[in-house]
């Protein structure tokens, strides 16, 4: 069964500041793109987690819960925290991580992979579009 590849990115201008999320879900030859404005006062790390939650929710809505996932992102912090290698000390991020883990239960298997920012350009573009379109 082929793996679904998901690129996610979240960002906040000013950290905290206006934030957005970008997601690219690759299902074979089909790319699904999603973007969302996340509000005026969020942090980069919170937005990164929210992008993963959005990606998992969208993958579920696309009917992809029968396939393994590989989530690629340029936030080493979030990758290491979600894989259990690093502790999550910030209460807001603990809540975000719980939400992500709950959504992951829908999928047969998953893997998080850190990628350099240069390999995550499309998700980053969507983050900026979401913030720009909100007038921020």
State the average pLDDT over residues 71-84: 97
Q: Where are the domains of the chain?
A: 4-133
Q: Is the pLDDT of residue 113 over 90?
A: yes
What number of residues does the chain have? 136
Q: Is the pLDDT of residue 136 over 90?
A: no
Q: Which residues contact 38 (CB under 8 A, 6 or more apart)?
A: 10, 12, 19, 20, 21, 46, 47, 50, 130
State the average pLDDT over residues 92-104: 97
State the average pLDDT over residues 60-89: 97
- Please check whether the domain covering 4-133 is classified as CATH 3.50.50.60: no
Rg over alpha carbons for the chain, rounded to the nearest Å, is 14
Question: What pLDDT is stored for residue 63 in this prediction?
Answer: 96
The beta strands (E) that lie in 64-124 are given as: 69-73, 110-114
- What distance in Å separates the CA atoms of residue 49 and residue 97, rounded to the nearest whole number? 7
């Amino acid at each position: 069964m082929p793996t679904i590849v998901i690129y996610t990115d979240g960002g906040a201008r000013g950290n905290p500041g206006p934030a957005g999320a970008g997601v690219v879900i690759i299902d074979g030859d089909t790319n699904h793109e999603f973007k969302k404005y996340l509000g005026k006062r969020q942090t980069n790390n919170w937005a990164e987690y929210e992008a993963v939650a959005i990606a998992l929710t969208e993958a579920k809505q696309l009917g992809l819960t029968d396939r393994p996932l590989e989530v690629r992102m340029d936030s080493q912090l979030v990758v290491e925290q979600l894989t259990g290698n690093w502790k999550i000390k910030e209460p807001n991020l603990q809540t975000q991580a719980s939400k992500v883990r709950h959504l992951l239960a829908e999928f047969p298997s998953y893997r998080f992979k850190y990628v350099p920012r240069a390999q995550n350009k499309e998700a980053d573009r969507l983050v900026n579009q979401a913030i720009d379109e909100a007038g921020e």
